[in-house]
Amino acid sequence: MKYQPALRTVVGLAAVVLLMSGCTANATTDTATPIGSAVQGSAPAPAAPAPAEAPAAVDVPAAVEAPDPPAASSTALAQPVLAPGRERKLTLADADVELVCDGGGKIQVLANGITLTVTGHCQEIDILSSGTTVRAESVNEIDVDGPRNTVTVEKAAGLRAEGSNNTLHADEVGKIVLEGQGNQVTFGAGNPQIDDEGSGNNISAK
């Protein structure tokens, strides 16, 4: 039969069309999920943590300054009044001493570097130390046995220096006796008796 090939062709084309339709109907459409999007049914992505707060500044109290130490000073001693027949020995080095002689009394300076101020009239002042400074109003006799002392007296009956390199001055003096060396002695009013048995001493009116 001459129509048989044409029929086969039509049937074949119909089969191809049906086959393609079935594949299309059964095919699953994949939809890509964008990166970063939440997937349906899953928990949402956690939020980024808030930045930590900076710790609050702590006020530190200002340091308390220590008080300045007291300025160093020499030791000052106030001595009692010396009556006739009384004696006072000074044994504290570098001390400032003020004494009052009430018509007599004897003072012995035994420690070095003492500064002694004497008011009133004393019987005797005996200086056995060195580097001592003595100022006196009135005394019967001043005896300087140590070296390098400085003595100033307003009125003295006698001034004796057995030590060396002392500086002595009396406004008014009756007698000057020198047995040491290198002493410098000056006097003011009067015409004192001078006995220089030492060497290198200088005695002059001032």
The answer as to whether 9 is a domain residue is no
Question: Taking a C-beta distance cutoff of 8 angstroms, is the pair 167, 150 a contact?
Answer: yes
Answer whether residue 119 is part of any domain.
Answer: yes
pLDDT at residue 206 in the model: 86
User: Is 124 within a domain?
Assistant: yes
- Answer whether residue 91 is part of any domain: yes
Quick check: is 69 in a domain?
no
pLDDT of residue 5: 47
Q: Could you tell me if residue 8 is inside a domain?
A: no
Q: Is the separation of the CB atoms in 91 and 109 below 8 Å? A: no
Residue 91 belongs to what domain range? Answer: 76-200
Q: Based on the structure, what is the number of domains in the chain?
A: 1
pTM to 2 decimal places:
0.63
User: Tell me: the pLDDT tens digits for 97-124?
Assistant: 999 999 999 999 999 999 999 999 999 9
* pLDDT of res. 192: 94
What stretches in the chain show pLDDT beneath 50? 1-7, 9-11, 14-19, 21-43, 60, 72-74
- Spell out the residues 6+ positions from residue 119 whose beta carbon is closer than 8 angstroms to its own: 98, 99, 100, 101, 137
Residue 205: what residue type? A
Measured CA distances, 80 to 98, 119, 139 (Å): 9, 12, 17
| pLDDT tens by residue, 30-44 | 443 443 444 344 445
β-bridge partners, 162:
none
| Residue 28 covered by a domain | no
**Dist. CA 146–CA 141, nearest whole Å:** 16
Give the per-residue pLDDT at 102: 94
Residue 203 pLDDT = 96
173 part of a folded domain: yes
